[in-house]
Amino acid sequence: MHLHQIWILLDDNFTKTEMCYGVLGCFSINEFFDPIYGPVTLKPQSPEDIDVTYRLYTAENKFKPDVLRANMTREDIANTHFDPMKPSKFIIHGYGDSFDDMEWMGDIKDLFMKLVPEEFNIFGVDWSKGAETNYMQAVANTRVVGALTAHFINKLVQFENARIDNIHFIGFNLGAYISSYVGTYQKIGRLTGLDPAGPDFYKDNPKSRLDPTDATYVEVLHTDGGNLIIEGLGLEDAVGHDDYYPNGGAQQPGCDFTKFINGASLPEVEVVSDITSLNHICNHQRSLQLFLVNPKTLDECQFVGYECKDYNDFLAGKCGDCGQDNSKCAVFGFLGNSDPVYGRFSALQENRAKSTNARRKLYFKTDESVPYCLFHYQLTIRFDRSMARSATGFINMELNGSMRNLTDIEMEALLEKEIESFQPGHNYTKLVTSIKSLGSVETIKLSWKFEGVQLFDPTTLFSFPKLKIANIEVKYMSNIDPE
């Protein structure tokens, strides 16, 4: 009899599809269930179990935070260093993580303090008790953390007259979705998603994923994207106003650990699995490292993303134009519209996103190590219309700049390649990058090697085609004039 009663109690709790937590409201699992993309949907833990804390840092307390919770009183916030006249930054970790001043969240806080020390209220959001559990439970807990944080912000507005449009959320992994949930309660000013988690978020459901409606401006950085967990830890889909895909948004330079395997012998399956996991972790965390690049160390190099059909077209040099109104490119940077150099441009791109609600996929390449920024150049060769006939082969170029030279730039036209032949009157493009600036490109050296006798064109047996070039254009792509 007693065992039967216990079973009834457990069964009733297990089959409950909605949990209600006072002022936070109710959380139903039905609207997030999907038989393919979300077959396991758990109920979130209680606010008391998750125990979210908000650690406030300002110029007056850079290293000793004021610790607050969502149930704070007017007196609690009044006794902190919070300044409602200043913008606020909320930094949120993801699955299996916690706030640690010695780790990346502390690094972001410290860099803000270094670059603009008097500018911001910075909140480190710690929901580690809800994140350091199994992944599916952590996913469920993000909704409660989002609701708690929205409630916390409501109190900042109610008690201190803080402005919602002055709030910027920076979320990594599941932290990006917590930021999104906050935005569903009240539209915040800016949201930066750093490689939002992919598993359990593949379905295009605006209730569970980031969306441009979550903030006045939503920017997302994808570094380990995929549509299956075996493809990546992050999300491949574009979900913001501006979605940046460095190196195509998946495999990042320096993160291919398979090259360290001894090719002479086949490794154990477990080793391959571990190395694949290392690749994904490295790719995933690269979003943090790119965000943390100090703009003052970049030597006039910016992470300028260009709108393009896909990454292959970008690599082919087909997308190197910002457009007359700069609507085809955007700068990804730590300070955004607070940057003293390109902040005005960043503000313009945000305003454009607000007015048009445009959604853009933007691409750029990076190096494998700090400071990551590569100098991008678009080469365009136009062949003269008077050229006698098309030609196949190799063009080798050297760019001679006022500071440095870039050699061994090759453009191919072969029957088995994307470019089958160089045609009279046509333009051909190529993207080239350098780890250091060339300065002003002053001269270009070019050599041509014919290759490919064509069986159906007997003239190629006795004569080589001659190339006639109408013009060559070199466009620097990695710095946007703020004016």
Same domain, 139 and 69: yes
pLDDT digits (tens, 9 = 90+) for 137-180: 999 999 999 999 999 999 999 999 999 999 999 999 999 999 99
User: Where residue 336 falls among pLDDT bands split at 50, 70, 90?
Assistant: confident
Quick check: helix, strand or coil at residue 286?
helix
The pLDDT, as a whole number, for residue 317 is 95
13: enclosing H helix or E strand: helix 2-15
Do 281 and 155 sit in the same domain of this protein?
A: yes
For the purposes of burial, counting CB atoms within 10 Å of the CB of 128, is it exposed (0-12), middle (13-18) or buried (19 or more)?
middle
pLDDT for the residue numbered 220:
97
- On the question of pLDDT at 47 being above 50, the answer is yes
Enumerate the known binding-site residues for Ca(2+): 209, 211, 214
Each residue's pLDDT tens digit, 239-278: 999 999 999 999 999 998 765 444 434 344 444 456 668 8
Q: State the amino acid at position 447 in one-letter form.
A: S
Share of the chain above pLDDT 70, in %: 82
Q: Looking at the structure, tell me whether residues 347 and 402 fall in a common domain.
A: no
Convert the pLDDT of each residue in 61-92 to its tens digit.
999 999 999 999 999 999 999 999 999 999 99
Q: Residue 2 above 50 pLDDT?
A: no
Q: What is the mean pLDDT of the chain?
A: 85
User: What is the pLDDT, as a whole number, of residue 267?
Assistant: 43
Q: Which residues are annotated as a binding site?
A: 209, 211, 214
Q: Which residue has the higher pLDDT, 359 or 460?
A: 359
Per-residue confidence (pLDDT) for residue 388, from 0 to 100: 72
Domain contains 397: yes
The pLDDT-based confidence of 1 (bands split at 50, 70, 90) is: very low
pLDDT score of 275: 62
Q: How many CA atoms lie within 13 A of 334 on its CB side?
A: 23
Looking at the fold, whether 347 and 406 belong to one and the same domain comes out as no
Do 316 and 224 have their domain in common? yes
Q: Which residues of 136-162 are buried (b: 16+ CB within 10 A; e: fewer)?
A: ebbbbbbbbbbbbbbbbbbbbeebbeb
pLDDT in tens, 409-435: 888 765 555 666 788 888 989 999 999
**Residue 414 pLDDT:** 54
Residues 217 and 272 in one domain: yes
pLDDT (0 to 100) of residue 344: 65
Domain containing residue 255: 16-364
Averaged pLDDT for residues 11-22: 69
Residue 5 in any domain: the answer is no
- Quote the pLDDT of residue 144: 97
Residue 296 and residue 399 in one domain: no
Taking the C-alpha atoms of residue 360 and residue 353, their distance in angstroms, rounded to an integer, is 9
